[in-house]
Amino acid sequence: MREVLFVSKPVHPPWNDSSKNLVRDLATGLRRSRPIVMTRRGAPPPMDGVSTTAVYGAAAGGFSPALADNARVLGRLLFGARPSLWHFFFAPNRMSSRAGRFARTVRRVPVVHTVCSAPRRDVPLEAVLFADRTVVLSRRTERRFLEAGVPADRLARIAPAVPPLLPPDATRRRALRAELDVPEDAPALLFPGDLEVGEGARRCVEALAGLGRADAHLYMACRPKTARAAEVEGELRALAQRLGVAERVRWLGQTARIHDWLAIADLVALPSESLYAKMDYPLVLLEAMSLARPILVTTGTAAEELAEPLRGEGAGPAVAVEASTEALVSATRALLDDDSAREVLGERARRAASARFGLAVMADAYERLYDALLG
C-alpha cells in the first residue's frame, strides 16, 4: 500500500483549526493509501489507526509553527524515510513553497498541495506553487488560478468535507439551550467568523438592531486570529451599545462547544465579503449544514457556491445575499418569520452536506488524484 506523508501543522487536539481538521478527516477517510500525519513529540496519537511521525517540538505553540518547527519539517522531508507521495496542506506563501520546491527537487517525491485558504491578491501564484498537482477547494479559486496562467493540468478541484453530525431533536435542543443559557423561544443568530476580516461581524450587529425584533439574540463565536482582534471586538461592543442591542449580543470567543451552538441556532450567518485566512467553504458552515441548520453567506465569495442547488432540486441549500446590512436584515427577517422555510432550508442543507461534502466523497477524489499522479 502506498504511503502518503501529510505535511501540515501538528495534527492534535484541540480541533480549532480548519487545515489540521481537514488533514485529520482525510487521513481517517482514505482506504487505498496509508497516511502518515505530523504530530508533536510526546503527544498521544490523534486518531486511531493512523500512522504518525513526531516532527514538531513538544511545546504547544500557536496556530503558526515556529521557525525551529519549520526547520524540523524540512529536515524530515530531506532526510526521513521516503514515502510514495508528499501531500502538503497550507496557504501558499514564499517561504513554505520555496522549501517544498527544494525538497521535491532533492528527493524526487511526487507532491500534492492542497491550498487550504486562498492567498492574498498581491501574491504571485507562479512564485508560490510548486507541486505536481495543486488542489483548490472552490470554483472561484480555481478560476483565479487559471486566469493567472496556472496550467489546468496542474490543478484539481476537491471540496473539503466534514464528518456527519446528528441534528438534535426538539427535546435535546431545548436542553442544550438551557445549558448554554439561551432563552428557549428567542430567535438565535450565530456568527461563526472572524472579527478582523470581511466586515461580517459588524453587519451582524447592525442587522440585529435593524430587524425590529426585540426578542432576537446574536451569538459571536470568533477565534481571535490577529493582534487586532481585541481592538475590533471593543469597537463592535461599542457599536452594539450605541445601537441599543448590547444586552442581546453575547461574545463567545473561541468555544469548545461550537457544535452545540450550531445546533441551537435558528440561523448561522457569515455575511463577510472576504474569506481571507479561512477556507473557501468554511468548515463551520459545512458542519452547520450537516446539523440541518439554515446558513446565510455572501455573494462574491467562494462560499456563495454553497447556495447552489443539488442536481434535481430547484432551490439551493443556503441563502446568498449581497454584502450589505440592508440585504442581511431582509434575508434574516424573512427566515425568522417563517419556521417552515427554515426547516426546509435546513433539510436541503443536510442533504447537500452528505452529497457534496461527505468524507467518502472527498477521500475518493484524493485517492483518484493519487492514482493519476503515481500511475
Residues 250-263: tens digit of each pLDDT? 999 999 999 999 99
Distance CA 144, CA 124 (A): 11
Question: Looking at residues 106-128, what average pLDDT do you find?
Answer: 93
C-alpha cell at 319: 441563502
Distance CA 241, CA 351 (A): 39
Element (DSSP H or E) covering residue 12: none
φ and ψ at residue 297, rounded to 5 degrees: -130, 180
With a cut of 80, say whether residue 65 has pLDDT above it. no
Name the nearest CA neighbour of 286 among 181, 177, 173, 138.
Answer: 138
Distance CA 209, CA 148 (A): 42
With a cut of 90, say whether residue 120 has pLDDT above it. no
Pairing of strands 319-321, 295-298: parallel
Distance CA 61, CA 45 (A): 18
Residues 173-208: tens digit of each pLDDT? 999 999 999 999 999 999 999 999 999 999 999 999
Distance CA 80, CA 75 (A): 7
pLDDT at 345: 98
Instruction: Report the chain's mean pLDDT, rounded to a whole number.
Output: 95
Q: In what order do the strands lie in the sheet with 319-321?
A: 249-251, 217-220, 188-191, 267-269, 295-298, 319-321
With a cut of 90, say whether residue 269 has pLDDT above it. yes
With a cut of 80, say whether residue 148 has pLDDT above it. yes
Residue 161 zone, left/alpha/beta (φ > 0; ψ -120 to 50; rest): beta
Residues 6-55: tens digit of each pLDDT? 999 999 999 999 999 999 999 999 999 999 999 999 999 999 999 999 99
pLDDT at 256: 94
Kindly list the structural domains of the chain, giving each domain's residue range(s) and its CATH number in brackets, ordered by start. 2-161+358-374 (3.40.50.2000), 170-356 (3.40.50.2000)
Sign of CA dihedral 80, 84, 90, 93: positive
With a cut of 90, say whether residue 64 has pLDDT above it. no
- Cell 447537500 belongs to residue: 352
Question: Looking at residues 270-293, what average pLDDT do you find?
Answer: 97
Distance CA 200, CA 282 (A): 14
With a cut of 90, say whether residue 66 has pLDDT above it. no
Pair 89, 98: CB distance under 8 Å: no
- Do you find a cis peptide bond into 14, omega within 30 degrees of 0? yes
Pair 123, 149: CB distance under 8 Å: no
pTM of the shown model = 0.96
Strands (E), the chain: 2-7, 33-40, 51-56, 85-89, 111-114, 133-136, 155-157, 188-191, 217-220, 249-251, 267-269, 295-298, 319-321
Sign of CA dihedral 36, 39, 45, 46: negative
3-state secondary structure of 32: coil
Question: Looking at residues 112-131, what average pLDDT do you find?
Answer: 92
C-alpha cell at 172: 435535546
State in Å, rounded, how far the first CA of the chain is from the last one.
Answer: 14
With a cut of 60, say whether residue 61 has pLDDT above it. no
Pair 371, 112: CB distance under 8 Å: no
- Cβ neighbors of 206 (< 8 A, separation 6 or more) are 239, 243, 325, 328, 329
DSSP string, 233-284: HHHHHHHHHHHT-GGGEEE--S-TTHHHHHHH-SEEE---S--TTS-SS-HH
Confidence class for position 225, pLDDT limits 50, 70, 90: confident
With a cut of 70, say whether residue 63 has pLDDT above it. no
With a cut of 80, say whether residue 109 has pLDDT above it. yes
Residues 349-367: tens digit of each pLDDT? 999 999 999 999 999 999 9
> For helices 283-290 and 339-357, what crossing angle results, to 10°?
120
Residues 226-248: tens digit of each pLDDT? 889 999 999 999 999 999 999 99
Q: Is 290 exposed, middle or buried (0-12, 13-18, 19+ CB in 10 A)?
A: buried
Amino acid symbol at 355:
A
pLDDT at 62: 58
Residues 302-346: tens digit of each pLDDT? 999 999 999 989 899 999 999 999 999 999 999 999 999 999 999
State percent of the chain over pLDDT 70.
Answer: 99
The number of beta carbons lying within 10 Å of the beta carbon of residue 219 is 22
pLDDT at 348: 97
